[in-house]
Every structure is written in structure tokens, then in C-alpha cells.
Amino acid sequence: MKQHYLLDSSFVIDFLNEMADGSPGHACRWMDKHRQGTFWISAVTYAEVLEGADDEDAVRSFLARCKWQGIHRIHAENVAALQRRSGQRMGENDAWQAAIVLHLKGKLVGHDPKAFERLGDAYVDHRKG
């Protein structure tokens, strides 16, 4: 069974910058190693990446290659449970990402260990080999 990966904006931004610069780095190497996975994006990733994009068409083109995970009631319930159980609330967008990846039974790929360390094995920091 293929591994499901939810791509966080921190990963997508690194990947697109590496591609634009023609200088493959951590994100390109990670993507190359995990080609067999199924790559997902959420509305959170889409909005965050598009917000800061210099070339919106390039961003849309890359993101169109990923599967789309909408945000639904089950995710809202998971966000509420995550926030309620924790002594330290996550940022709202981070909580949505965490709820989505847990529902996918996948791994969140990005570079924000402070935000996502509580996900344990469900979090992959693409900058750490």
C-alpha cells in the first residue's frame, strides 16, 4: 500500500524555491526518495503557498499534481479534540493540518518541528535526511 503524504506549505515552498533556483536541496531530494507515495495537499497548504507566490501559475501547476484533501466535519471534530487535549494549543492552520493527516493515516511533510512534534511518527521533517 502506498504511503500517504500531506505536504505542508513549508515543504512546498522549499520545493518550489529549489526548482525555481535550479538548485535541488532537501525538498527535491526528499521528493525523489519518496516518488512512490501518494501526495496530498489541503486547502491550508494551497492558501498559504499561493498567498506568498511570485508565480501563481507555477504554484497552481505543481499543486495540481497532488491529490486534494478538503476540510470536512470529521476534520473539525479532530481539530477540536487535538486542541482540547493539549496543554498548549497549536496554531489554527497547524491544527487543521494535523487533523487532516491523522484522518488520512499518513505523514505530514514539512519543516516546522515545534508545531508538529506532537504528531510523532506522523510528522516527517524533510530537512532532516
Q: What integer pLDDT is reported at residue 1 of this predicted model?
A: 75
pLDDT along the chain (129 residues), means of 10: 94 95 95 95 96 92 93 93 83 94 96 90 92
**pTM, rounded to two decimals:** 0.92
With left for phi above 0 and alpha for psi between -120 and 50, is residue 125 left, alpha or beta? beta
Return the amino acid letter for 11.
F
Architecture of the domain delimited by 4-125: 3-Layer(aba) Sandwich (3.40)
The C-alpha atoms of residue 113 and residue 97 are separated, in whole angstroms, by 13
Place of cell 495537499: 41
